[in-house]
Amino acid sequence: MADSTQMRMHKIVDELMKNRNIEPGSNSQKIVDLYSSFLKRKDGAKSLLKELSQIKKIKNKRELPSLIAHFNRLRVNAPFALWINVDSLDSSHYITEIDQSGLGLPDRDSYLGTDSRSRLLRQQYQNHIEKLLALTGVQNAEQQATDIAAFEVSLAQIQWNSIDNRNVLKITNRLTIQQLASISPDFSWPAYFSAMKLNLNSAQLNVRQPSYLGNLNQLIHDTSLATLKEYFAWRFIDNYAELMGDDFATEEFSFHKKILTGQMKAVSEPDRALELVDGLLGDALGQIYVQRYFSDQDKRRVEKIAMNIVAIFREKLHQSSWMSKTAQKEAVAKLGTLNLQIAYPSKWTNYSNLFISKDDLIGNVMRASEFLSQTEIAKLGTRVDSSHWESTPQTVSGNSIYETNTIEIPAAILQEPMFNRNADEAVNYGGIGRLIAHEISHLFDDRGRLYDHNGNLHEWWASEDVANFSKKCKALVEQYNSYEPLPGYHVNGNLTLSENIADNAGLEISYLAYKLSLADKPSSNIDGFSGEERFFIGYAQSMRVKLRDETLAIRLKSSVHAPDSVRINGAVTNQDAYYQVFRVTPNDLMFVRPNQRVQMW
Ligand SMILES: [Zn+2]
């Protein structure tokens, strides 16, 4: 699906490139010019020197807040990121959030792991820093790389781990600017917010990891200004290296792709240019994608599947043997306010204030990043618009948003093998039906369940509901902990819990929804398979993927998804229907005893 979507987007761009009648200032002009500015880029290192010399000029740590704000506006998130999100305590409004960030390796644990793979990775990362610094003309690159790598380890040590970061109650911490100042007294927040062009007045903001900001204050205090400047320059180079000359591209590829993911083949120039356009002008490209590759007939068909999924979900909640009446009632109400977004948004991002030139790549990227940050910031103070999409229509993945009780099923995932226009509904319930049920389940998983029908975060379950639910979660955690897809590397049952719950519930509910669609008629036989068999086969086919060991190792540590093979087999072996449909016996490898199977709903 990712490949076919990419091919389609290339086709769109190629045709625009040939068009001689493109209106200046239109979305098409911006797509074409951003794309060509990447292909025509010259010595990018030179265009970065201005930014780097600004960092060099810094004489005092008091200048750091405005530097960090400048970075944040350019979407360089170091040493923290700032977002505008729907306020989880008042979901009709937006709130400013601060989140830990600023590491070059994929996650905090890569800096702290003592296994040989982590140690080797840190050495390779340090070499990578050294090589890129040398390419930008730094004289003592080796020394600087050592300092920067050591500083990032200290940063990792004060960051929260991924389990804590997934705990929505723990990362909900409302602070005023005065309280922020008392946590981190050396950091001038007023200077930072004014450079961010963010007027917070007396409003509170959400600080996901307050202790991180406190410890960061100390770390900055204890670190020499020289090292800090090296670190910030490095973060900038690391973020923009993709846009520089061939030497940079080769080194970027060898570290970020070869070493981190095991990918052997370099990404082509057109693919990289397309990725850039997709990231910065996503809606502009998406609008054309939808016009060209999506039919509203498919949308209606998928909506019909979704309706049956919701109907079964409602029935499950009504019939739940373990939920209290109050929780049941509220859960059904929550399903009633579900905001189901299929294919594409009703409103698109308006890029008219963004200037894109055909021969200024770095300038384009900086302006587009600023434009996107400013568009976010402009939401503050307005009422939440529930028709707003987080994903673009060409995103090949579903999405669920707790605060607005929304699921998004983008157009690009409504293609084979997830949705097949020419297949019968059994296969589609196994594919897209399962995905829709999976996304709805997220709104009721270990985190999503804490948001009520308005999207507000609070514990609305009775303590016995929580205890019953936790018992099921615990069984699922233990089940997944026991999977070992790479020798010595187990799945982390806690980290992947939400996804495993969603896979479990998604498969069960979509199967029942398929049965509902049959309206008591027996399923037809196609190519020797019953509809029930085709449902499970369609499911497995829609999820199949091949991963290299390097990618697998990184994902097992940092991804909230278990490897796909585990996801497929883990989900089916918990379904009684699977045993009946395929006549699985205790002698079969995938047999799980009935009392050990987990059924969420
Ligand atoms: Zn998911």
CATH number, domain with residue 68: 1.10.1380.10
Query: Tell me: the pLDDT tens digits for 157-182?
Result: 999 998 899 899 999 999 999 999 99
Same domain, 97 and 190: yes
Burial profile 440-467: b = 16 or more Cβ within 10 angstroms, e = fewer:
bbbbbbbbbbbbbbebbbeebbeeebee
Could you tell me which residues come within 8 angstroms of residue 89 by beta carbon, excluding any fewer than 6 positions away? Answer: 172, 174, 456, 457, 458
Look up the pTM and report it. 0.90
pLDDT, position 550: 84
CA of 434 to the centre of ligand 1 (A): 11
Same domain, 320 and 229: no
Last residue of one domain, picked from the residues 187, 211, 244 = 244
CA of 5 to the centre of ligand 1 (A): 20
Total structural domains within the chain = 2
Q: Could you list the beta-strand ranges (E) of 34-92.
A: 80-86
Domain that holds residue 495: 311-337+416-596
CA of 192 to the centre of ligand 1 (A): 35
CA of 538 to the centre of ligand 1 (A): 18
Give pLDDT < 70 ranges for the chain: 43-45
In a domain, 265, yes or no: no
CA of 82 to the centre of ligand 1 (A): 24
In a domain, 301, yes or no: no
Same domain, 326 and 207: no
CA of 457 to the centre of ligand 1 (A): 20
| 538 neighbors 529 (Cβ within 8 angstroms) | no
| 196 neighbors 65 (Cβ within 8 angstroms) | no
CA-based nearest residue to 233, from 362, 370, 56? 56
| Distance between CA atoms of residues 142 and 145, nearest Å | 5
In a domain, 249, yes or no: no
Last residue of one domain, picked from the residues 244, 273, 293 = 244
CA of 498 to the centre of ligand 1 (A): 7
Last residue of one domain, picked from the residues 197, 223, 244 = 244
In a domain, 169, yes or no: yes
| Distance between CA atoms of residues 122 and 146, nearest Å | 11
CA of 327 to the centre of ligand 1 (A): 23
CA of 441 to the centre of ligand 1 (A): 8
CA of 438 to the centre of ligand 1 (A): 6
Written as one letter, the residue type at 206 is N
Same domain, 71 and 210: yes
Same domain, 548 and 466: yes
CA of 443 to the centre of ligand 1 (A): 10
Q: What is the domain-level CATH number for residue 331?
A: 3.40.390.10
CA of 400 to the centre of ligand 1 (A): 8
| 163 neighbors 494 (Cβ within 8 angstroms) | yes
CA of 344 to the centre of ligand 1 (A): 19
In a domain, 264, yes or no: no
CA of 293 to the centre of ligand 1 (A): 25
**How deeply is 352 buried, as exposed, middle or buried, from its count of CB atoms within 10 A (0-12, 13-18, 19+)?**
exposed
For the four alpha carbons of 497, 500, 502 and 505, in that order, the dihedral sign comes to negative
Same domain, 328 and 210: no
pLDDT, position 43: 66
pLDDT, position 46: 73
In a domain, 351, yes or no: no
CA of 442 to the centre of ligand 1 (A): 7
Same domain, 316 and 235: no
CA of 39 to the centre of ligand 1 (A): 35
CA of 502 to the centre of ligand 1 (A): 6
CA of 255 to the centre of ligand 1 (A): 28
Same domain, 81 and 197: yes
In a domain, 286, yes or no: no
CA of 164 to the centre of ligand 1 (A): 18
User: Residue 340 forms beta bridges with which residues?
Assistant: 407
pLDDT, position 553: 86
Same domain, 332 and 227: no
CA of 317 to the centre of ligand 1 (A): 20
CA of 278 to the centre of ligand 1 (A): 22
